[in-house]
Amino acid sequence: MSAEADLAALGQRLLDPAAPPLERFAALEDDASDVRVFVAARHDVVSGVLSEEPVFSLRHYDELLEQVLPGTRYLVGEDDAARRVRLRQLHAAQAWLDARRNAPASGEPPNMAPGFRDWIGAIAREEADAILDVLQRRASTGEAVNFAREYAFLIAYRMARRIIGVPAPEKVPGLVKMIVIWRNVMRPGPWLRFKDELGDSVSMLVMLQPLFGHVFGTVVNSPSALQGLTRHTAAPALAAIEKALAAPESAPEDSLLSALVAVKPQFSDVADYNLQARSVLFELIGALVLIVGKSLSEIAAFAASPVGAAAGITWDNLVARLADRNISLKDHDATVNEMLRLAVSSRLTRTVRTDCQWRGVDLKAGDRVVVLMDPASRDPAAFAQPGQFNPDPARPYITSGPLQGPHVCYGRGIAWTIMREAIAATQGRIAPAPNTKIAIFAGLPDDLPFVACRR
Ligand code: HEM
């Protein structure tokens, strides 16, 4: 069995209530270091690891970023003074955007407020319609639509352009070009080209993907080849943000970038304001372009597959449900979360701070704990009939990270809104091709054939 298959089997074994909360998994360890690796899979254990920050730190994310892009940090990192500055920046920028829209106070945090989400939803509808207007012309020729590239990743990129406000670099870096050419040679079907916004979305994705692999895919050490690739691909994206911060007039007036520039006078105490703001924008662009595009593709692939039908959800069903304006936002969120639970899998890592015993397991400072979101999202102790589509706002959806504590996903309301609107907007416009199947390239969705519907 491969290490991946062993890890999946371990994930299943750890769901047994009688199994230990954590188990060591040497196949993820590195001969060159003495760091031990443990695995968590049960929902309650994964929840604990993700939210008990005094025991489990996020410092390896900081270290991995420092390796390739010195000075850059994510909010997903140690809760130090610089992170608190970035959080203040994000909250001040959000407040500035809310004030511009005269947003009424709601009982929700600003990033989850219904008014904010309505604003995101209206932009997402506009962007989805604009893309679908172009794709639907193919109804007359029968040319296939690549849902992943031409819809999911494109709308995710266009939303990042609109609400975050950073454009793709003017010049496509040479290495990015080579990666796309490699993809074009290896994959059947039309070539990806560097023109229009589709080209921008492709280059932005290629710039961010190695970085996400390096930061979120590394458990102990990242291979030096990946580090080199990451430096060359991610640095131009960071440079584009710096340039945009210096010329904010090129960004949409109601974007986060404009907001961060507008609130700068509130931060006279912060000497490296732009460095921290650059990090905030960089993290949000990555989450939007990469995670939303990937999740949307995977949700569509699941709903259009026999596995989705066996789980009780079809694509038509999903679209009709999300297009129904009589269903509450809470219930739409539950539908999107249920799809994320069934269709999307991920892993996160934490580092043990000090020698300790946690839930009866002896841990050493520096040990890594890998949490497997897939089994945690199908743990029968947390989800009755875990393989079935059964959306319920009361379910403890962990797919968007910790359910409480300082690292709750900031963009979950944005993501759920965009995905809802993107799926609903396809009604009567594009639909899965018969027997459609997702194709993966270099770890990301590359194609999911759809067809344009005749009006
Ligand atoms: C389907 C889409 C998304 C999924 C599945 C997702 C998932 C996650 C997960 C698992 C974490 C926790 C990471 C950890 O603790 O190690 C997280 C945190 C975060 N996410 Fe998301 N995310 C999504 C969309 C977004 C979007 C669109 C944005 C921004 C626009 C965003 C911004 C963030 C930020 C800033 C954090 C860090 C919070 C903190 O540590 O303070 N996410 N997300």
pLDDT digit string, tens, across residues 32-82? 889 999 999 999 999 999 999 999 999 999 999 999 999 999 999 999 999
Q: How many CB atoms lie within 10 A of CB 85?
A: 20
Measure the CA–CA gap between 38 and 220, rounded to whole angstroms.
11
CA dihedral 53, 59, 65, 66 (to 10 degrees): 150
Distance from the Cα of residue 408 to its chain's centroid: 13
**pTM flag (> 0.85):** yes
DSSP state of 2: -
pLDDT band at 402 (very low <50, low <70, confident <90, very high): confident
Output the residue whose Cα is nearest ligand 1's atom 8. 400
pLDDT tier at 401, thresholds 50, 70, 90: confident
What gap in Å lies between CA 111 and CA 108, rounded to an integer?
8
Q: How many residues does the chain have?
A: 455
What range defines the domain where residue 207 resides? 3-452
Give the residue-averaged pLDDT of 429-440. 97
180-207 per-position pLDDT tens digit: 999 999 999 999 998 899 999 999 999 9
| pLDDT score of 157 more than 80 | yes
How far apart CA 142 and CA 289 sit, in angstroms, is 28
Q: Which residues contact 128 (CB under 8 A, 6 or more apart)?
A: 155, 421, 422, 425, 426
Count of the separate structural domains present in the chain: 1
Task: List the residue whose alpha carbon is closest to atom 5 of ligand 1.
Answer: 400
Tell me 263's DSSP state: T
Q: Are 197 and 157 in contact (CB under 8 A)?
A: yes
Q: Of 58, 93, 68, nearest to 276 (Cα)?
A: 93
Testing ligand 1's pocket by substitution, the residue of 83, 412, 416 carrying the most ligand atoms inside 8 A of its CB is 412
The span from the CA of 254 to the CA of 236, in Å, is 24
Residue 406 pLDDT > 90? no
Q: Which atom of ligand 1 is nearest to the CA of 416?
A: 1
- pLDDT on residue 404: 83
The pick from 344, 374, 409, 417 for probing ligand 1's pocket by mutation, whose C-beta has the most ligand atoms within 8 angstroms, reads 409
Which residue owns the Cα nearest ligand 1 atom 37? 76
What CATH number should be reported for the domain holding residue 421?
A: 1.10.630.10
Q: Quote the tokens at residue 357.
A: 């015993």
Partnered with residue 430 across adjacent β-strands are 452
How far is CA 342 from each of CA 300, 313, 351, 398, rounded to the nearest angstrom? 11, 10, 27, 12
Ligand 1, CB within 6 Å, residue ranges? 50, 75-76, 283-284, 287-288, 291-292, 295, 340, 348, 399-402, 407, 409-412, 414-415
> How many Å lie between the centroid of ligand 1 and the Cα of residue 206?
19
Of 375, 361, 315, the C-alpha closest to 339 is 315
**Amino acid 106: pLDDT:** 87
pLDDT mean across residues, the chain: 96
Q: Which residues contact 119 (CB under 8 A, 6 or more apart)?
A: 101
Question: Rounded to the nearest whole angstrom, what is the distance from the C-alpha of residue 369 to the centroid of ligand 1?
Answer: 19
| Burial environment of residue 322 by CB neighbours within 10 A (0 to 12, 13 to 18, 19 or more) | buried
3-class secondary-structure state, position 35: coil
Amino acid identity for residue 364 in this structure: K
The alpha carbon of 188 and the centre of ligand 1 are apart by a number of angstroms equal to 33
